[in-house]
Amino acid sequence: MNLFKKKRKKNYPDFWMKYEAKFEKKASYALPEIRFVVFDTETTGFDYDNDRILSIGALSVKNNSIHISDSFEAFLYQHFYHAKNIEIHGILQEERHERITELEALIQFLDYIGNSVLVAHHAGFDKNMINYALKRHGMPDLKNKFLDTSVLYKRTLINSPLLPVKPQYSLDELAEKFDISKKDRHTALGDAYITAIAFMKIVQKLKLKKNFSAKKLLK
Amino acid sequence: MKNTISARVADFLKNYPPFNEVDTKELESLSEEVSIIYKVKGEIIFAIDEEAHQYFYVVHKGAVVLTKEPNDEVVDLCDEGDIFGLRPLIANENYKIGAKAYEETILYAIPIIDFKPIIKKHDEVGTFLIESFASNTRNPYSNSYRGKLYEATSATEQNRVNDKELLDLQGVPYSKKLITCSENTTIKTIAIKMTEKKVGSVLVVNNKLPVGIITDKDLRNKIATGLFPITTRAKNVMSSPVITYPKKMTVTQAQMAMMKSDISHLCLTLDGTTNSEAVGIISKHDIMFELGNNPAVLLKAIKRANGFKKIKAVRRRIMSLLQGYLDQNIPLTLTSKIISELNDACIKQIIKIALNKMDAQPPVKFAWLAMGSQGRSEQLLHTDQDNAVVFENVSQDQLEETRNYFLDLAKIVTKGLFDIGYEYCPAEMMASNPDWCLSLSEWKERTFHWITNPGPDQVLLSSIFFDYNLAYGETSLVNDLSTHLFETTEKYPNFFLHLASGALQSPSPSGFFRSFLVEEDGEYKDFFDLKRRALMPLIDGARVLVLSHKVKLINNTAERFEKLAELEPNNEELFLACSYATKALLKFRTKHGLLHNDSGRFIALTKLTKEEKIKLKRSFKTIKDLQELLKVRFKVTNLLN
């Protein structure tokens, strides 16, 4: 009980206030009305403190439709540059994509996602990557609800002693299971696309289970 | 905003007309406006009389069925790359046909507002639209208009066009990949080429002009009889001059032409005379394939298929053949034999294609096993795939490398099976799973473990695995494994007790007042589970009885009961009743599956006629009698729970 150390309300920049304001209205729980933003980040590595985001790709899914015009793709300037990552991501520093700063990318991303439900494969990683970037610019964490396709996928598996459930399912495995082409794999938007299709198929499977509700899904 | 996904959409569209006529830049900017829509199997895309959407659709993955009133008659089936729902947008009217996802489908929805300028700008696109309106191209499914963007109003107003009339209109499909040789090619070379390419004829050309034709018949009549040596030249043997026709001909015309000249191959040339370039060949087989669904023709088509997609097309025709058999009330024993044979051929062909796709030959001999319903030859409809691989024993240090080869092969095969309509097994009982891709000695060990430690899981695994059937590969491996199984079960008869109690685990089909018991929750609430409650008890019962009699090589449940009736004359009546019930239930399931385009496992009771219900109930009595027999024979009662 420390009444005097009451959290001081910070003065956040306009873009953050605008983003925050979008959460004031209560979100809908009708599945066809929910805007899901499926996203993926490509990074220089797995260390939240030292590694940086190379690119962010995101698509919106609403009522089982992806509108390509409502998608997001940003490539960031790189100060941290690990040669070993080129192999995986194929993003070369000199490549032709137009680049923006980390802050600019965050501003655009926040504007794009709004209060949508965020979906990613192994979402914890992408979430942290964004949150650490926000922190570097003095911003609090993302306020959105998160869904992780790797967790959701496990819920679709049949409960059978004959089927050992693995602790992890990679995006490649999901792509194979759901017959999704692995073209553009390891680009942020390409991976986001695979995740989005897998996500729609997973939700469809979950819907058939008893006691399914959108509210529960988002819990 | 051009991005990775719009580029991907453009990349897909550019392969299909009319988008192939649009230049890359425009196609890319069109793609930026596309929506990607996921539809579950059976989901409606638009209904008849619904107001036209702002989009028309291109099938990216899956298939869409177009239907019209009355009775939801199928008008067309759209596959990957096909366009539908465009006409109402141009004519400014409501939809006159309905569209529904036939399979799980991904659609590209293209806004008409962005497409209209393209029609105006590119004459070829406009021409395509008009041509597809005016011409009939081939479609085996309907009395209809494949590839048509406008539905022909005249035809909708006409009463049904019947199939025969249609053949008069259908353009004949011909193979454009000509197999040719010159006049001086030796017969031996030609025969080798024909064998390689799996064709029945070779066109002899001189400067691209057809001068003669050599068919299988010529080889038989002129070479095998010793009339000419195999070293002779093409010009000595060929039939000449070639009978040529222009390429725009209908199925009926082609058929007439063959009858008229009593020949089996027609050569198509640019202007229809021998003085222009040869562009294609029509064989009698091509015509037969167009004319109808006949098992022999389908079988040949499967064997000629060089890609999964082609097999998928044949599979759909197998389904309509099946429908025909059921409509005509052909005995199920015969029906299931034919359909299983065709299904088998599909699997074999898929494995052959997969083997071709591998970089190397199999390191050792192997056998591909079909398990479950497929192994029992009871799979009339597409259900899940259950399969396994057994390969020859290899030394320990080569085991993993060998397994990896077969796992890679199995991945291609299971994907191929998936592509033609067999869902992946939800419990991963597939040869692409390392647990189901074992060497002979590993299989022996594993089955030995199941038989000697019969817990519920082991019994379940055995009941799926023990119905295996060789689908492709080395027979001796399978025989060896079967012998091992029988020897082991003989030594451990306790296993039968567990297998029998497993067979009694299926929930009862009817309640105390002889009412149907339906599912209580989940997706199929209030549906009757025909498989679990009625078919499984029969299948499981037949298996344990037949195994205990050491009967080999009979996998089919109905046939197993017939054999049992023969072996146990005192129970003949019951077993024959079981055999009858199995067939009746299987037929029932197949009919319902075809009706709803699903596995037919779950039945909506409200949709059954009284007669159907009585028939079903009659089979329940037989099931109950069978279960009593199992209880007494294997003394299961005192073990249960």
Give the 3-state secondary structure of B336-367.
Answer: HHHHHHHHHHHHHHHHHHHHHHCCCCCCCCEE
Chain B CB contacts of A59 under 8 Å are 5
How confident is the model over B155-183, as a mean pLDDT?
58
CB contact under 8 A, B9 and A64: no
CB contact under 8 A, A71 and B5: yes
List, as ranges, residues 394-433 from B with C-beta within 8 Å of A.
415, 418, 424, 426-429
In DSSP terms, which residues pair with B63 in a beta bridge? none
pLDDT tens digits for range B407-425:
999 999 999 999 998 889 8
Q: Which two tokens stand for residue B365?
A: 């001999």
Contact indicator for B612, B618 with CB cutoff of 8 Å? no
What's the whole-model pTM score?
A: 0.75
Q: Which two tokens stand for residue B170?
A: 């259908």
User: What's the pLDDT score for residue B216?
Assistant: 87
Least confident range from A207-216, B195-204, B383-392, B547-556: namely A207-216
| B-chain residue closest to A178, CA distance | B424
User: What's the pLDDT score for residue B552?
Assistant: 79
pLDDT tens digits for range A12-60:
899 999 999 999 888 788 889 999 999 999 998 888 888 889 999 999 9
Contact indicator for A76, A99 with CB cutoff of 8 Å? yes
For residue B117, say if its preceding peptide bond is cis, omega within 30 degrees of 0.
no
Q: How far is CA B609 from the centre of its chain?
A: 30
CB contact under 8 A, B522 and A193: no
Indicate if the pLDDT at residue A94 is higher than 60.
no
Chain B CB contacts of A58 under 8 Å are none
User: What's the pLDDT score for residue A141?
Assistant: 94
Which of B5, B13, B32, B35 would best serve as a mutation to test chain A binding (most A beta carbons within 10 A)? Answer: B5
* CA nearest neighbour of B345 among B372, B373, B315, B375: B315
CB atoms within 10 A of CB A126: 25
CB contact under 8 A, B4 and A189: yes
Q: Is B220 helix (H, G, I), strand (E, B) or coil?
A: helix
* CA nearest neighbour of A144 among A41, A10, A9, A19: A19
Name the residue among B4, B424, B461 with its Cβ closest to that of A190.
B4
Indicate if the pLDDT at residue B429 is higher than 70.
yes
A179 close contact with B: CB closer than 8 A: yes
Q: Token pair 């198929």 is at which residue?
A: A201
A159 close contact with B: CB closer than 8 A: no
Chain B CB contacts of A73 under 8 Å are 1, 3-4
CB atoms within 10 A of CB A49: 7
User: What's the pLDDT score for residue B432?
Assistant: 93
| B-chain residue closest to A159, CA distance | B427
CB contact under 8 A, B38 and A64: yes
Indicate if the pLDDT at residue B253 is higher than 80.
no
Residue B153 makes CB contacts below 8 A (sequence gap 6+) with none
Least confident range from A159-168, B117-126, B553-562: namely A159-168
Indicate if the pLDDT at residue B290 is higher than 80.
no
Which of A68, A185, A201 would best serve as a mutation to test chain B binding (most B beta carbons within 10 A)? Answer: A68
CB contact under 8 A, B104 and A208: no
User: What's the pLDDT score for residue B13?
Assistant: 92
User: What's the pLDDT score for residue A133?
Assistant: 94
CB contact under 8 A, B427 and A71: no
**Helix, strand, coil percentages for chain B (3-state, nearest 5):** 50, 15, 35
B462 close contact with A: CB closer than 8 A: no
Strand B602-604 versus strand B83-84 pairing type: unpaired
Indicate if the pLDDT at residue B361 is higher than 80.
yes
A68 close contact with B: CB closer than 8 A: yes
| B-chain residue closest to A186, CA distance | B4
A20 close contact with B: CB closer than 8 A: no
Alpha carbon distance B172, B290 (integer Å): 8
Chain B CB contacts of A74 under 8 Å are none
How confident is the model over A137-144, as a mean pLDDT?
93
SS3 track for chain A: CCHHHCCCCCCCCHHHHHHHHCCCCCCCCCHHHCCEEEEEEEECCCCCCCCCEEEEEEEEEECCEEEEEEEEEEEECCCCCCCHHHHHHCCCCCCCCCEECHHHHHHHHHHHHCCCEEEECCHHHHHHHHHHHHHHCCCCCCCCCEEEHHHHHHHHCCCCCCCCCCCCCCHHHHHHHCCCCCCCCCCHHHHHHHHHHHHHHHHHHHHCCCCCCHHHHCC
The confidence band for A166, taking pLDDT boundaries of 50, 70 and 90, is confident
| A-chain residue closest to B521, CA distance | A210
Chain A CB contacts of B29 under 8 Å are none
Name the residue among A57, A65, A210 with its Cβ closest to that of B36.
A65
How close A73 gets to chain B, by Cα (Å)?
7
How confident is the model over B493-499, as a mean pLDDT?
88
Alpha carbon distance B479, B469 (integer Å): 10
CB contact under 8 A, B33 and A204: no
In DSSP terms, which residues pair with B602 in a beta bridge? B529
The confidence band for B637, taking pLDDT boundaries of 50, 70 and 90, is low
Q: Which stretches does DSSP call E strand in B254-379?
A: 265-269, 278-283, 366-370
A204 close contact with B: CB closer than 8 A: yes
Q: What is the largest CA-CA distance in chain B?
A: 87
A152 close contact with B: CB closer than 8 A: no
Helix (H) or strand (E) holding B213: strand B209-215
Helix (H) or strand (E) holding B112: helix B112-121
The confidence band for B377, taking pLDDT boundaries of 50, 70 and 90, is confident
Chain B CB contacts of A158 under 8 Å are 426-427
How confident is the model over A6-12, as a mean pLDDT?
66
The confidence band for B165, taking pLDDT boundaries of 50, 70 and 90, is very low
B520 close contact with A: CB closer than 8 A: no
pLDDT tens digits for range B85-138:
888 888 788 888 899 998 889 999 999 999 988 888 888 887 777 766 554 343
How confident is the model over B592-615, as a mean pLDDT?
82
Name the residue among A57, A64, A65 with its Cβ closest to that of B4.
A57
In this prediction, what percent of chain B has a pLDDT beyond 70? 90
Listed ranges A93-97, A161-165, B114-118, B518-522; the one with the highest mean pLDDT: B114-118
User: What's the pLDDT score for residue A6?
Assistant: 53
B109 close contact with A: CB closer than 8 A: yes
Helix (H) or strand (E) holding B537: helix B536-548
Higher pLDDT, B256 or B587: B587
Q: Which two tokens stand for residue B92?
A: 């400014």
The confidence band for B145, taking pLDDT boundaries of 50, 70 and 90, is very low
- Say what the ipTM of the complex is: 0.87
A143 close contact with B: CB closer than 8 A: no
The confidence band for B641, taking pLDDT boundaries of 50, 70 and 90, is very low
Name the residue among B4, B31, B523 with its Cβ closest to that of A208.
B523
Least confident range from B189-203, B509-523, B559-573: namely B509-523
Q: For the purposes of burial, counting CB atoms within 10 Å of the CB of A158, is it exposed (0-12), middle (13-18) or buried (19 or more)? A: exposed
Indicate if the pLDDT at residue B640 is higher than 50.
no
Name the residue among A59, A161, A208 with its Cβ closest to that of B457.
A161
CB contact under 8 A, B418 and A179: yes
Q: For the purposes of burial, counting CB atoms within 10 Å of the CB of A112, is it exposed (0-12), middle (13-18) or buried (19 or more)? A: middle
CB contact under 8 A, B427 and A163: yes
Listed ranges A207-216, B428-437, B525-534; the one with the highest mean pLDDT: B428-437
CB contact under 8 A, A162 and B426: no
How close A64 gets to chain B, by Cα (Å)?
5
| B-chain residue closest to A67, CA distance | B35
- Backbone φ/ψ region at B199: left (φ over 0), alpha (ψ -120 to 50), beta: beta
CB contact under 8 A, B33 and A69: yes
Chain A CB contacts of B461 under 8 Å are 162
